[in-house]
Amino acid sequence: MNRVVLDAYQGWLDFWKKFADFFWLPDTNGLNYLTRIAIAIGIIVVSWLFIKLIGLALKKAFRIKRGPDIDASAKYLAIEVIKILLWIGVAFVVAYVLKLNLSGVAGITSAIAVALGLALQDLIGSFFSGLLIINQKSIRTGDYILVKNSFGECEGEVERVHFFVTYLKTFKGQRVIVPNKNMTSAVITNFTVLGERRCDFDVGVAYDTDIALAKETLLNVIKDDKVIIHPEKTMVYVESLGAYSVNLRLRYWTKVEDYWPLYYQIPERVLLAFREKGINIPSSTDIKVKQ
């Protein structure tokens, strides 16, 4: 019994001696493994600071700014790819310092890569979808878009196209995150890219109204407004005959940056102009501006 205890004790001592020797005894280069670990940690910390500085320098060099920037998303993606490549380089340096046998790890790494590839198909699909979005330039940072797909719809200003998702900012200051895979399978309406927009304003008037006067009044509401473009395309016409009203439509064009300010002014302008001319709007009539 005592012999068994002594053998177990001796085995335990041998284990700890080998464990200590592994970390404390110097190798042919005069470095022990603890020193190598300390060097590796130092390399990781210095590399983290260096890569962070590289990222800031690249942002400054690319002149990435808030607001509309035609290539902001592409620049962000390029910076992220550069960072990943730098970290891969750091990983190889750390592996060399720690004397890791990468040939033995290659098989395990390949198996893990295959397993992750199967498990993360949606993420991989979103990544390549993000590259496709940026390459096609279908949407840009600062564009106001409407996204419709089988999952529903959302709209907002494009903040950034990231690796896997696209960030939208709504008028209410909310952030909407859409997977890039869903973006490429969606119907996207871009209200900004062409630089100008058309607006349709619908209003109903009573059946005994002088239609010519009502049409003239609607035209005069925006006639002298400097933000109106393509004045030859501005028109007023009878859109439909409703149950209680004759429905008129005012159609005009503006630049994208002038669209929303005028969009919210038109209803009040029309109301005041109709009151001045004595034009009656039936209470059951909907008044709305169509995008």
**CA dist., res. 191 & res. 137, Å (int):** 14
Residue 127: count of CB within 10 angstroms of its CB: 17
67: alpha, beta or left? (left if phi > 0; alpha if psi -120 to 50): left
The CA-CA-CA angle for residues 57, 157, 84, to 5°, reads 35
Task: Verify that 14 and 47 share a domain, yes or no.
Answer: yes
What pLDDT does residue 67 have?
45
Domain that holds residue 212: 196-290
Task: Verify that 244 and 286 share a domain, yes or no.
Answer: yes
Span 185-195, average pLDDT: 87
Distances (CA, A) of 108 to 102, 111, 119, 125, 271: 10, 5, 16, 24, 73
In a domain, 219, yes or no: yes
Q: Is the pLDDT of residue 276 over 90?
A: yes
3 state DSSP class of 144: strand
Task: Return the residue matching tokens 């009539």.
Answer: 285
Identify which has the larger pLDDT, 67 or 220.
220
Report percent pLDDT > 90 for the chain: 27
Span 13-24, average pLDDT: 59
SS3 content of the chain, % helix, strand, coil (to 5): 55, 20, 25
In a domain, 112, yes or no: no
Task: Verify that 147 and 186 share a domain, yes or no.
Answer: yes
Task: Verify that 165 and 213 share a domain, yes or no.
Answer: no
Q: Which of 31, 66, 100 is the last residue of a domain?
A: 100
Q: Which two tokens stand for residue 19?
A: 């464990």
Residue 95: count of CB within 10 angstroms of its CB: 14
Q: Which two tokens stand for residue 67?
A: 């607001």
Kindly report the CATH number assigned to the domain that includes residue 252.
3.30.70.100
Q: Is the pLDDT of residue 238 over 90?
A: yes
Confidence of residue 70 (pLDDT cuts 50, 70, 90): very low
Ranking 42-46, 144-148, 283-287 by mean pLDDT, the lowest is 283-287
In a domain, 242, yes or no: yes
Q: Which of 83, 100, 117 is the last residue of a domain?
A: 100
Identify which has the larger pLDDT, 139 or 247.
247
Mean pLDDT of the chain: 77
Confidence of residue 196 (pLDDT cuts 50, 70, 90): very high
What pLDDT does residue 93 have?
73
Confidence of residue 212 (pLDDT cuts 50, 70, 90): very high
What pLDDT does residue 53 have?
80
In a domain, 69, yes or no: yes
Span 40-54, average pLDDT: 79
Task: Verify that 281 and 225 share a domain, yes or no.
Answer: yes
Task: Verify that 131 and 205 share a domain, yes or no.
Answer: no
Span 87-91, average pLDDT: 76
Q: Is the pLDDT of residue 206 over 70?
A: yes
**CA dist., res. 267 & res. 199, Å (int):** 12
What pLDDT does residue 159 have?
87
Task: Verify that 6 and 94 share a domain, yes or no.
Answer: yes
In a domain, 108, yes or no: no
Identify which has the larger pLDDT, 197 or 54.
197
In a domain, 115, yes or no: no
What pLDDT does residue 121 have?
57
Q: Which two tokens stand for residue 157?
A: 């200003």
Strand segments (E) across 165-267: 165-169, 175-179, 187-190, 196-205, 228-229, 235-241, 246-255
Listed residue (134, 166, 171, 141) closest to 156, CA to CA: 171
In a domain, 180, yes or no: yes
Identify which has the larger pLDDT, 163 or 286.
163
Type of residue found at 159: E
Q: Is the pLDDT of residue 113 over 80?
A: no
Q: Which of 166, 190, 214 is the last residue of a domain?
A: 190
Q: Is the pLDDT of residue 69 over 50?
A: no
Q: 130, 164 in Cβ contact below 8 A?
A: yes
Identify which has the larger pLDDT, 22 or 194.
194
Number of domains within the chain: 3
What pLDDT does residue 68 have?
44
Task: Verify that 267 and 283 share a domain, yes or no.
Answer: yes
